[in-house]
Amino acid sequence: MTKNSWVYCPWHPTQLTRKRPLLVDDFLDLVKQKKFVCLKKMISMLNGLNTFGLESLHVKPLFDAIYELKDRTSDGGARVYFIAGEDNEFYAFHAECKKESDADEVMLSDAIEILEALEAGQAVFPMSNTPHRWRERSKL
């Protein structure tokens, strides 16, 4: 069943002057590392999230409203970290490809800070003079 989902790429709330969202910089780093198989898998998983929402095959809950898309590739473990809001709105903010199974602590710390900013109505998109509309996902 197809859902009407939206996947946003937020900035870190204290880094709104960056040229690009965190996720785009992570993708560019993967290109520099020549981890094309991993990058292709991440884009595929994001398409799945956009189409199927939290029912997507690769969604794994981490804590609170923070999730990851996770799968194995020949380059290593592909992970995309995101926050789930209401109305099938998702905020994908970091990605990594590595052999270790533990999530990156800095990326998870960014997750908490972005979630807190969304909940507080702080800006996470530099192009807007007003904060992005945020509605917390209902408890399941």
pLDDT at position 133, please? 54
Condensed to tens digits (0 to 9), the pLDDT of residues 40-93 reads: 999 999 999 999 999 999 999 998 899 999 999 999 899 999 999 877 889 999
DSSP assignment of 62-119 equals EETTEEEEEEEETTEEEEEEEEEBSTTEEEEEEEEEESSSSPPHHHHHHHHHHHHHHH
pLDDT at position 130, please? 46
Condensed to tens digits (0 to 9), the pLDDT of residues 7-41 reads: 888 999 999 888 889 999 999 999 999 999 999 99
- pTM for the model: 0.86
Dig out the tokens for 138 from the structure: 């209902």
What is the C-alpha to C-alpha distance for residues 95 and 129, in angstroms, rounded to an integer? 27
Average pLDDT for 106-135? 78
Residue 140 scores a pLDDT above 80 = no
Residue 110 scores a pLDDT above 90 = yes
pLDDT at position 128, please? 58
Residue 131 scores a pLDDT above 60 = no
